[in-house]
Structure formats: structure tokens, C-alpha cells
């Protein structure tokens, strides 16, 4: 269990920041868009292939004043902010997201959907995980469903999740990075046969950017 003691985060006035950086959104619908990333520490979902394992232990990332993070983001020319982690919904995100939104920025969320929502988002990317499936609320809130495919039977898992999102939610299959070469032909054939699905690849890894 992750310690999300409200006193520690003072209603979102402090957050366990791992890193913040300006890059290009590599994945999903907004791929290719310059965006300022805010990555929060702490996740208990435990994906074997997680490419952000260094974020899992929130004790490594003592809470920082949210205003410091906001001020840094506002010095950047980006028009979009991606809030990711770790699992960002572990924390109260109202102050962070509303302040940045009120300054005219688009706020995007990357989440496993395993915790209740807080905050105000212009775009929600839900990436469901078998071992800890999303809450109902996350399916309702998702603009984009991005299922990571590591093996062929993840396609069935993808369909189970697609059956739970709203009609307007975009559907993406994203190959797990270490099996990219092996999974890609299968994903391409699947999307061609089931054109409600789109392909997302982690383009930032090919661009060698964060
Ligand atoms: C590191 S997670 C952080 C946000 C949240 N915990 C989640 O899983 O959505 C960001 C995105 O990277 C994806 N991801 C993580 N490791 C990956 C890998 N090895 N290959 C492909 N996608 C990966 C996740 O599924 C998620 O969509
Ligand atoms: N460039 C870039 N795009 C991303 N899209 C989602 C990411 C994430 O880790 O949440 C990510 C990331 O880590 N880097
Ligand atoms: S839910 Fe996200 S951050 Fe957590 S282990 Fe899985 S991919 Fe990593
Ligand atoms: Mg990433």
C-alpha cells in the first residue's frame, strides 16, 4: 500500500515530484505534440515491464511545493501539460491541474485508473492493467484507451476494456517495448481487421528523447 496520508500532501499543495521536463508526447492520440511532463512518484500496480519502475517508491520523492512545479511549467512555451507517474491519481490534483488550466494550458492525464479521480483534465489516457483493473469511473472519463500488448492474448483483454469505455473513446494498441519487434506484425494485422483500433508506438524511444 502507498502512503497517501492527506497531511503529507496538504490537499495537493505538495506533491511527490519525480521529474518535470519538456519533451514531445510520444504516445497515443497526442503523439508528436510538444508537452511539459510532470511525473509523480508512487505506484502499487506493479507491471512487470513498467518502464518507470524508478517512480514506484514514493518515499524516494519527498513532497515539493506545487507552486514551484507550476511556476516552472509556466516558464515553458508548451501549450500542453502531461501529468504522469507512477500513478498520479494517488494524489489530490485539483490545485495543480486547475491552476495550469486557468493559465490556458491543456492538461493531459496518463493513468491506470486504479484510484478515484481528482483534478480537471482536457484529455484522459487510460491504460488498464490486468492485475489491478481500472475503477468504473476511469472508463467513463477516458478519452483514449491505450492497452499495452505483450502477448497475443492481451488482445482479448483489450476488447474487454473497449467494451467498458464510452462510444467516443479512441482505442489504441501499444506494443510492450521489449517485444516491439515480435508484436508489431500481429498488432498491424489486428488493427487492419478491426479498424476501430489504432496503433500507438512509443515514438519518443525511437527519437531518443525523454
Ligand atoms: C509509466 S506509465 C505512468 C502512468 C500510469 N501509471 C499508467 O500506467 O497509465 C505511462 C504509460 O506508459 C505505458 N508503459 C509503461 N511501460 C511500458 C512498456 N514497457 N511498453 C509500453 N508501454 C509502457 C503505460 O501503460 C502507460 O500508458
Ligand atoms: N515522450 C514521452 N511521451 C510519453 N507519453 C506517456 C509517457 C509516460 O511515461 O507517461 C511518456 C514519456 O515518458 N515520454
Ligand atoms: S501502472 Fe503505470 S507506473 Fe504503475 S507499474 Fe504499471 S505502467 Fe508502471
Ligand atoms: Mg514513459
Confidence of residue 33 (pLDDT cuts 50, 70, 90): very high
Over residues 3-24, mean pLDDT: 93
Q: Please give the pLDDT value at position 175.
A: 99
Nearest CA to ligand 3 atom 8: 50
The pLDDT of residue 161 is above 90: yes
> What CA–CA distance (Å, rounded) separates 170 from 162?
9
| Confidence bin at 5 (pLDDT 50/70/90) | confident
The mean of the pLDDT values for the chain is 98
203 Cβ closer than 6 Å to some ligand 2 atom: no
Confidence of residue 189 (pLDDT cuts 50, 70, 90): very high
pLDDT at 74: 98
Q: What is the pLDDT of residue 167?
A: 98
Query: What pLDDT sits at residue 38?
Result: 99
- Overall average pLDDT of the 91-106 stretch: 98
The model's pTM is 0.98
Three cell numbers at 13?
Answer: 499543495
ipTM reported for the complex surpasses 0.95:
yes
Does residue 193 have a pLDDT over 80? yes
Place of cell 491504460: 127
Counting ligands in written order, which one lies closest to the CA of residue 57?
3
Q: What is the pLDDT at residue 7?
A: 87
C-alpha cell recorded at residue 52: 518507470
CATH domain 6-207 topology: TIM Barrel (3.20.20)
How confident is the model at residue 2, as a pLDDT?
A: 82
Q: Could you say which ligand is closest to the alpha carbon of residue 27?
A: 2
Which pLDDT band, with edges at 50, 70 and 90, does 3 fall under? confident
C-beta atoms surrounding 133 within 10 Å: 18
| Residue 204 CB–ligand 2 contact under 6 Å | yes
HEC profile of the chain: CCCCCHHHHHHHCEECEEEEEEEECCCCCCCCCEEEEEEECCCCCCCCCCCCHHHCCHHHCCCEEHHHHHHHHHCCCCCEEEEEECCHHHCCCHHHHHHHHHCCCEEEEEECCCCCCCCCCCEEEECCCCCCCCCHHHHHHCCEEEEEECCCCHHHHHHHHHCCCCCCCEEEEEECHHHHHHHHHHHHHHHHHCCCEEECCCHHHHHCCC
Q: Is the pLDDT of residue 1 over 80?
A: no
> What residue spans define the domains of the chain?
6-207
**What pLDDT does residue 197 have?**
99
Ligand nearest to the CA of 35: 2
Nearest of 51, 66, 52, 54 to residue 17 by alpha carbon: 66
Question: pLDDT value at position 50?
Answer: 99
Residue 26: all three cell numbers together: 510520444
- What is the position in ligand 1's atom list of the atom closest to the CA of 39? 3
User: Is pLDDT at 111 greater than 80 in this prediction?
Assistant: yes
What pLDDT sits at residue 149? 98
Spacing, Cα 40 to ligand 4 middle (Å): 12
pLDDT at residue number 80: 98
Q: How far is CA 81 from CA 3, 24, 95, 121, 149, in A?
A: 26, 11, 14, 10, 26
Mean pLDDT on 123-132: 99
C-alpha 111 – ligand 1 centre gap (Å):
8
Amino acid at each position: 500500500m502507498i502512503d497517501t496520508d492527506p497531511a503529507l500532501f496538504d490537499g495537493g499543495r505538495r506533491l511527490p515530484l519525480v521529474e518535470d521536463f519538456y519533451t514531445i508526447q510520444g504516445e497515443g492520440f497526442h503523439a508528436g505534440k510538444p508537452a511539459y511532463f510532470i511525473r509523480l512518484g508512487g505506484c502499487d500496480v506493479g507491471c512487470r515491464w513498467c518502464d518507470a519502475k524508478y517512480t514506484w517508491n514514493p518515499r524516494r520523492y519527498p513532497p515539493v511545493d506545487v507552486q514551484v512545479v507550476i511556476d516552472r511549467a509556466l516558464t515553458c512555451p508548451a501549450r500542453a501539460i502531461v501529468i504522469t507517474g507512477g500513478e498520479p491519481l494517488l494524489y489530490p490534483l485539483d490545485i495543480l491541474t486547475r491552476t495550469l488550466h486557468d493559465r490556458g494550458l491543456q492538461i493531459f492525464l496518463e493513468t491506470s485508473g486504479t484510484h478515484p479521480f481528482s483534478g480537471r483534465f482536457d484529455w484522459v489516457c487510460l491504460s488498464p492493467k490486468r492485475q489491478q483493473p481500472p475503477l468504473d469511473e476511469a472508463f467513463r472519463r477516458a478519452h483514449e484507451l491505450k492497452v499495452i500488448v505483450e502477448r497475443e492474448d492481451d488482445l482479448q483483454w483489450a476488447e474487454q476494456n473497449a467494451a467498458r469505455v464510452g462510444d467516443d473513446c479512441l482505442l489504441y494498441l501499444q506494443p510492450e517495448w521489449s517485444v516491439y519487434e515480435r508484436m508489431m506484425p500481429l498488432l498491424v494485422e489486428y488493427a487492419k481487421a478491426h479498424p476501430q483500433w489504432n496503433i500507438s508506438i512509443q515514438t519518443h524511444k525511437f527519437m531518443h528523447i525523454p
